[in-house]
Chain A
Amino acid sequence: MFKLIPRENVSPVLSLLGPLFSVGLTMIVGGILFYFLGVDPFAAIKMIFWDPLMSETFSTYSIPQIFIKGAPLILIALGLSVGFKANVWNIGAEGQYIMGAIFGASFALSLYPLESIVIFPAMILIGVIGGCLWSIIPAFLKVKFQVNEILVSLMLVYVAEQILALASLGFLRNPDGAGFPGSRNLNQYTSASNAEIIVGTGIHLGVLLSLLMVIFFYVLLFRHSLGFKIKLLGNSPKASGFSGDNSNKLIFLCLTLSGSLAGLAGIMEVAGPAGQINIDFNVGYGFTAIIVAFLGRLNPIGIFFAGIVMALTYVGGELTQFMLNLPAAAIQVFQGMLLFFLLSFDLFVHYKIKLKGNK
């Protein structure tokens, strides 16, 4: 049999290899899955990972799309990663993302058709507050009554989805929309539109912000004492207590920080690529971001690359849907598989494995 020996220091080479290995393995096992779905595995894998970047027909559209889809993933995953390090599990980012969008859009649409330059920044701020407020609920309950934050934050996703339905069919419905569900299109409201910053690509302010946030979180986690306190809380809650850190404050901070970022991602999306509040506004970024956080090894730089890879599977997945008629759910299976491989590989990062001799 095998024997596990804990490593004294986490191997940096292996911890980098893990994500690469997992992506590779996912391609192989995913290929087998595609084969059984009656799709040529090589064509499908090439279309998901290669064509969006390299194909002449698709890449001009695909490459900016990768950044557009990657931005919310990176923003949300950055926030989540801080909590995950501290063993605080916000898995309701999807709900906070929805609430950020609803809050921001409600504010902007209530002022329609007033034009002013203050509307846009105020709308962003209110979006962030919306996401933050939604995460304050699990944060408060966790800190005050020790209620499990995993369950509360998740339940609130379903509540947020109902509020989204309420908004798109009711209080935010476009009065000039001939009764169709969905709000006014924010892209047609100059003061609130999160317009593209590079003409013709669709790349918007959120993409830029996601890059800035990577740097901000890198500094926070590796160059600021708060980052150390958060890691300490996760690795050794007792030591954290002895060093005088207030664990409740840190837990509250972790949850609301991730909620705020999810809210930011939500308002950026609704005012930009999505354009309007509608029933199907949320597409699961909040859940995929959990995978992104792990794929990036809870490290900001890693999360940036992980977000790009995951966005690639989204864009490539859409391509395979159109070109090869592959069901949309195949990509979800793909993403779940990736997370399995990644988590399993952690064994080699944290332990040395020795063959036991016959004694």
Chain B
Amino acid sequence: MDLSEINFAVLVASLIVASTPLVLAALGELIVEKSGVLNLGVEGMMIIGAVTGFIVGVETGSAYIGMMAAAMAGALLSLLFAFIILIMQANQVASGLALTIFGLGIAALMGHPYTGVKSPQISTISIPFISEIPVLGTMFFQHDLIVYLSLISVLVIWYFLNRMRAGLILRSVGEDHDVAHSLGYRVVTIRFLAITFGGAMAGVGGGYLSLVRVPQWTEGMTAGAGWIALALVVFSGWRPFRLLIGAYIFGGITILQLNLQAIGVNINIALLSMAPYLATILALVVISMSRFRGNRGAPGCLGRSFVKIT
């Protein structure tokens, strides 16, 4: 094996690309959970986004139109979840699982004719001047629009949650929906919006996966990315910047193991493929250990149904 074959700058650049679906989906889920809803259907929404984005992208020839369609598809599927848990008062854990099972099935049905089709190219935008800085330029400033958008979203969501009145209202709904309701906030409406946003973000994440990251459609291609996104939210302690760092660490592990496979390191491929999943478990353990018993940042009403009793 020859580690010098791995170009560090290119490695970091591909790490960012690999992490972007996770960043997008996890940011969406962060908002959903901050409103007090646990949506375990991220995997299902991502794969619906992946398949819709891919189909629309191929048919229109534009990856960006595909990505928009992916967002809409994710949002549409999340509305189903929102209806079931907010209006029909169903158990959130079970409904999220149903969403995942349903999404995986629908996606497989839709994507079947598109297996093996080539996706349209996405153009990268090199930021003037700073993209020409050696090493750093390659790492950070020669990406496509979605990567920059994902980074901007981290900032915007941080600002929204911590500096804006609307963000505060969202958090209060998540902390204690009964109090928020008695203060006159529309718990159900706010949660509806949060869930839809989460669906759209998961959809874009999925679209990015099939249009840019892989780029191809294969059945079950999300391969647990949605679940890793869920784990990232826990890992981040419900904070956007920690979420970004977490996503890049996971992306790094994925890219590293893929690169090690590519240069033919003498480790079994199956063992390398396990790495991201084992790392997720390890990260969850570390984060739970370090803040054991203390406030772990989880919203107070996470996963609880809201029933208006007046």
By a beta-carbon cutoff of 8 Å, the part of chain A in contact with chain B is 4, 6, 37, 84, 89, 91, 137, 141, 145-148, 150-152, 154-156, 158-159, 162-163, 165-166, 169-170, 287, 290-291, 294, 327-337, 339-340, 343-344, 346-347, 350-351
Q: For the complex, give the distance between the alpha carbons of A220 and B109 in Å.
A: 41
- On whether A147 and B288 interact (CB within 8 A), knowing A89-B93, A159-B277, A332-B108, the answer reads yes
Taking A329-B107, A339-B97 as known contacts, 7 extra A-B pairs with beta carbons closer than 8 A to each other, sorted by chain A number, are: A84-B94, A141-B285, A152-B284, A158-B274, A158-B277, A332-B104, A351-B307
Task: Judge whether B271 and A294 touch: CB under 8 Å.
Answer: no
Task: Check: B268 CB closer than 8 A to any chain A CB.
Answer: yes
Task: Judge whether B227 and A151 touch: CB under 8 Å.
Answer: yes
Task: Judge whether A330 and B230 touch: CB under 8 Å.
Answer: no
- Most B CB within 10 A of own CB, among A6, A137, A154: A154
How many CB-defined contacts (below 8 Å) exist between A and B?
A: 143
Give the residue name and chain of the B residue nearest to A137 (CB).
B281
In the complex, chain A residues whose CB is within 8 Å of the CB of B60: none
Task: Check: B98 CB closer than 8 A to any chain A CB.
Answer: yes
Give the residue name and chain of the B residue nearest to A37 (CB).
B109
18 pairs, CB–CB < 8 Å, chain A vs chain B: A145-B288, A147-B281, A147-B285, A150-B40, A154-B224, A154-B227, A163-B270, A166-B270, A166-B271, A287-B101, A294-B94, A329-B219, A332-B101, A333-B106, A340-B98, A343-B88, A343-B95, A346-B89
In the complex, chain A residues whose CB is within 8 Å of the CB of B103: 336
A243 CB, min distance to chain B CBs, angstroms: 23
A326 CB, min distance to chain B CBs, angstroms: 10
In the complex, chain A residues whose CB is within 8 Å of the CB of B80: 340
In the complex, chain B residues whose CB is within 8 Å of the CB of A290: 94, 97
Task: Check: B292 CB closer than 8 A to any chain A CB.
Answer: yes
In the complex, chain B residues whose CB is within 8 Å of the CB of A154: 224, 227
Task: Judge whether A148 and B93 touch: CB under 8 Å.
Answer: no
Q: For the complex, give the distance between the alpha carbons of A317 and B107 in Å.
A: 18
Give the residue name and chain of the A residue nearest to B296 (CB).
A146
In the complex, chain A residues whose CB is within 8 Å of the CB of B97: 91, 290, 339
Interface of chain A, helix or strand or loop or mixed? helix
Task: Check: B55 CB closer than 8 A to any chain A CB.
Answer: no
Q: How large is the interface on B (under 10, 10 to 19, 20 to 34, 35 or more residues)?
A: 35 or more
Task: Check: B102 CB closer than 8 A to any chain A CB.
Answer: yes
By a beta-carbon cutoff of 8 Å, the part of chain B in contact with chain A is 40, 80, 84, 88-91, 93-95, 97-99, 101-109, 112, 219, 223-224, 227-228, 230-231, 234, 268, 270-271, 273-274, 277-278, 280-281, 284-285, 288-289, 292-293, 307-308
A339 CB, min distance to chain B CBs, angstroms: 4
Task: Judge whether A155 and B231 touch: CB under 8 Å.
Answer: yes
In the complex, chain B residues whose CB is within 8 Å of the CB of A332: 101-102, 104-105, 108
Give the residue name and chain of the A residue nearest to B310 (CB).
A3
In the complex, chain B residues whose CB is within 8 Å of the CB of A141: 281, 284-285, 288
- Picked from B93, B112, B281, B307, the residue with its CB within 8 Å of the CB of A156 is B281
Task: Judge whether A162 and B270 touch: CB under 8 Å.
Answer: yes
In the complex, chain A residues whose CB is within 8 Å of the CB of B268: 166, 170
A7 CB, min distance to chain B CBs, angstroms: 12
Task: Judge whether B40 and A162 touch: CB under 8 Å.
Answer: no
- Picked from A6, A165, A333, A347, the residue with its CB within 8 Å of the CB of B102 is A333
A6 CB, min distance to chain B CBs, angstroms: 7
Closest 8 CB pairs of A and B: A336-B102, A332-B105, A329-B108, A333-B105, A343-B90, A339-B98, A344-B88, A336-B101
B298 CB, min distance to chain A CBs, angstroms: 10
In the complex, chain A residues whose CB is within 8 Å of the CB of B106: 329, 333, 336
